[in-house]
Structure 1
């Protein structure tokens, strides 16, 4: 039997098909080949059309089915990973009411700040483990205040993965993990956060039926099967936000384990069994994929919005789109640690939670026209992204998340030797790189949820480690000096 994984990102939609018995990826594809369009009608806004996700999924899935030649009737189940915190609203006919307000949209930050002050900081943090901040619930409140005609049509609200599951099955459902990422879950009561629904004035009927993360949540409908070239009745048996799912894909399920990604945004995600929170909500605590009423499994998440998007911006603007990322890495490797005094703050992709929802923009500091060239920019960008990780990880350590071993897929910025060596060196952590990604992880999750695998250990028995990066003691002093220089510039900007 085979397992299918969908990863609904903001840059692309990736589909992977794995052989259940071996865990081998038989085929994978993604669309679009260039980054997916994000619409920003105003500074700090970010929207995407949900139908865009669906159409790109169809294209990627078509490639996979054509390449693999697998009989769709031999596909056991489907798992879905998706970009977190997005808001999708549908009416009673399951028609999308407006474009999705996605994860990096910061328009609702002030709404969340007001909410925590009026509800009470202690009450919010003790029950929700976070400020309502700029998350899904606050985005819905923005719609209520600013687009009342559209709000009046709302039947259900969903996260992006819930929307894809709806398109596949016709059923509208969600998970406790998903609701927690929208700050709609009360951890002390283990139920929907009525306190926030009441404060924002939301109808409780907006919340879909809640299903376990690992479970048969629906089946591919006849209409979806015909549209996608799949078999009717394939089980939909797993869904999770991209960062909990990335942790799953790296077999990060237990307290003390840490997963990292560095795509458009960058994330460090540590698992804890204690209900703890950052008093300033600079890092956030959500229900992990294996969180249950009986056993706490909480994901403490550091998110840096401006990560790979900075590298992409430099590729287009300093490299004129004419050089590859590998060539950028090679040029950067010719520059010493510290980039000859050039520091880049990567905060140019919306309000940053780690900076208490401030939106300072990106900063280039110490630029000398007689010394620095594009190679310095390429290195300083990678160092700046790593230093933003270090800054956030120091906050994570205050609530018990210590980075000794960090697992990541060998993809995106982890393809760069400079990036991974700088991260190992400045944190002192060993980095382990694996042959997996979000879509493959979602496929394994589907196998767990459908019962094809009897346990997560069986699902990940063939996960392969590709590379281990140890901190280089010889680089420590230079990295610490560069980080101190970077941090001084951050404090000045703040």
Structure 2
């Protein structure tokens, strides 16, 4: 039986997932690499560390499963979005990659908005934020002109790894959509934006489909690793898009609620015509001619971790949350806003800060713990609300993954707050499974993506909304929405006085 390999290039580690034609995970390996921060707000990595991590994963897999040398058919990728890799005319890396979570580019974002804000929103469907790639390019232009003068091409992290494996410089549409340089609807690099900022067409990578063929594994690498057949390399995709594919989000009407350090609420869009005015991200999906909208809560699981470490340090998460089911919907009049590091959707406000509102003498740890869970979910509902109001979406099902899928009371809160059936997975594999699915599609294992999803994705329990809780939460959510405008000016002034 043949195998495909998905390489998930994250911020702190590279994870490899080997899967067979039945969708069974055969092997999983990972390798860590460091993050460099030379000053506050800076976040960088040496691309060579990604290559070394890939070698460690491949060698460890081959050592454990030698038959992989005969049976590996294809490789694809998922990767951290936005991070900038620059190479010279000899394809040598010119500097460390500037990562997605680097925030040095506020000045460049203001410049982009001033020079082409309307064009940017119309063409890329997004507004200028520090995380995107274009502001990083402008920063290098302005601050490191000697580097910029040598820069011949740019890549994103997974694309640099694919270049190392194939010798070809390419980028898939889902990752290109996060650069602020792609005309999302027409699926071409935006000449107007490039010309505005002095970026030449030769600087841009060739665009490929996520399940498209990049090239075969280079002969010298094939020989060194001992592969006996040509190994095909496929386009890959942005981490959130691959995560969506990996849980079966391939058509409208199904949502993804992903709660990690940050939180994501994501939905497929059949066209790029929805006008979210930059309040939601709109990107190309890993499926050809398909898109997805996505809202982000900056401190989702991070809010719960902060609360535990601050107020319940000696308890496990399970012990801290064991009594939340005994607390009434709405935490008996207590609301938490999870803005502890600012907020992205729908407010795009780096200065807003979190609040507990309605504290009463009868409130105990269990009330505060439940209000944190509710507040995180309300913040994600803001994204669902935008999708429903702007795009007239109706969600028949929402797949919950991450920390929010590990607590049954929290799953019930999600069903009640989102007013939708919540589904979990039998086993979470993250974006790496989506990368495997792209390789499987590229290899021609399936006639269509639906057949691939049926084979690779297995769902577990379903949680249905409780009607009386839905009504109560609708009332509490209306109060929650008033918290941002009520606290904005005050928290901004507090931040200014720090």
Q: Shorter-chain-normalised TM-score: which range?
A: 0.7 to 0.9
Query: Residue 303 in 1 paired to residue 304 in 2?
Result: no
CA shift, 1:440, in A, is 1.5
**Which residue does 1:112 correspond to in 2?**
109
**Aligned ranges for residues 391-402 of structure 1 at < 5 Å?**
391-400=382-391, 402=393
Q: Is the 8 A contact 2:258 2:401 kept in 1?
A: no
CA distance in 1, matches of 2:364, 2:228: 55
CA distance in 2, matches of 1:474, 1:163: 52
CA shift, 1:124, in A, is 3.0
CA shift, 1:407, in A, is 4.0
The counterpart of 1:347, out of the listed 339, 345, 369, is 339
Query: Residue 24 in 1 paired to residue 24 in 2?
Result: yes
- Summarize the Cα distance change of 1:31–1:88 in structure 2 as closer, same or farther, 3 Å threshold: same
The counterpart of 1:330, out of the listed 322, 336, 361, is 322
Query: Residue 212 in 1 paired to residue 204 in 2?
Result: no
**Aligned ranges for residues 170-185 of structure 1 at < 5 Å?**
170-185=167-182
User: Cα deviations across residues 401-449 of structure 1 (Å, max 9, x unaligned)?
Assistant: 5242344364433222233222221121112223453212211110101
Relative to the length of structure 1, the TM-score reads: 0.86
CA shift, 1:79, in A, is 1.6
Classify the secondary structure of the residue corresponding to 1:385. Answer: helix
Classify the secondary structure of the residue corresponding to 1:140. Answer: helix
Deviates more, 1:278-287 or 1:224-233: 224-233
CA distance in 2, matches of 1:458, 1:2: 17
**Which residue does 1:8 correspond to in 2?**
9
Computed over aligned residues only, the root mean square deviation of the Cα atoms, in angstroms, reads 3.1
User: Cα deviations across residues 142-198 of structure 1 (Å, max 9, x unaligned)?
Assistant: 222223233233222112221221232232211233212212112454411111111
The counterpart of 2:482, out of the listed 471, 480, 488, is 488
CA shift, 1:307, in A, is 2.0
- Summarize the Cα distance change of 1:468–1:280 in structure 2 as closer, same or farther, 3 Å threshold: same
- Summarize the Cα distance change of 1:228–1:419 in structure 2 as closer, same or farther, 3 Å threshold: farther
**Which residue does 1:446 correspond to in 2?**
439
Classify the secondary structure of the residue corresponding to 1:181. Answer: coil
The counterpart of 2:255, out of the listed 253, 258, 263, is 258
Q: Is the 8 A contact 1:220 1:232 kept in 2?
A: no
Deviates more, 1:329-338 or 1:171-180: 329-338
The counterpart of 1:425, out of the listed 409, 416, 419, is 416
Q: Is the 8 A contact 1:260 1:406 kept in 2?
A: no
CA distance in 1, matches of 2:401, 2:186: 39
Relative to the length of structure 2, the TM-score reads: 0.86
CA shift, 1:87, in A, is 1.8
User: Cα deviations across residues 64-120 of structure 1 (Å, max 9, x unaligned)?
Assistant: 445555422201111211122222223344443333333333433453344234325
- Summarize the Cα distance change of 1:210–1:63 in structure 2 as closer, same or farther, 3 Å threshold: same
CA distance in 1, matches of 2:122, 2:57: 42
Q: Is the 8 A contact 1:403 1:427 kept in 2?
A: no
CA shift, 1:489, in A, is 2.3
User: Cα deviations across residues 314-358 of structure 1 (Å, max 9, x unaligned)?
Assistant: 4555454x65544444354454443444433333456625313x2
The counterpart of 1:412, out of the listed 383, 403, 411, is 403
**Which residue does 1:128 correspond to in 2?**
124
**Which residue does 1:464 correspond to in 2?**
458
The counterpart of 1:156, out of the listed 141, 153, 156, is 153
Q: Is the 8 A contact 2:263 2:301 kept in 1?
A: yes
Q: Is the 8 A contact 2:184 2:283 kept in 1?
A: no
- Summarize the Cα distance change of 1:429–1:407 in structure 2 as closer, same or farther, 3 Å threshold: closer
Q: Is the 8 A contact 2:253 2:397 kept in 1?
A: no
Q: Is the 8 A contact 1:265 1:307 kept in 2?
A: yes
Q: Which has the larger radius of gyration?
A: 2
Query: Residue 384 in 1 paired to residue 375 in 2?
Result: yes
CA shift, 1:389, in A, is 0.7
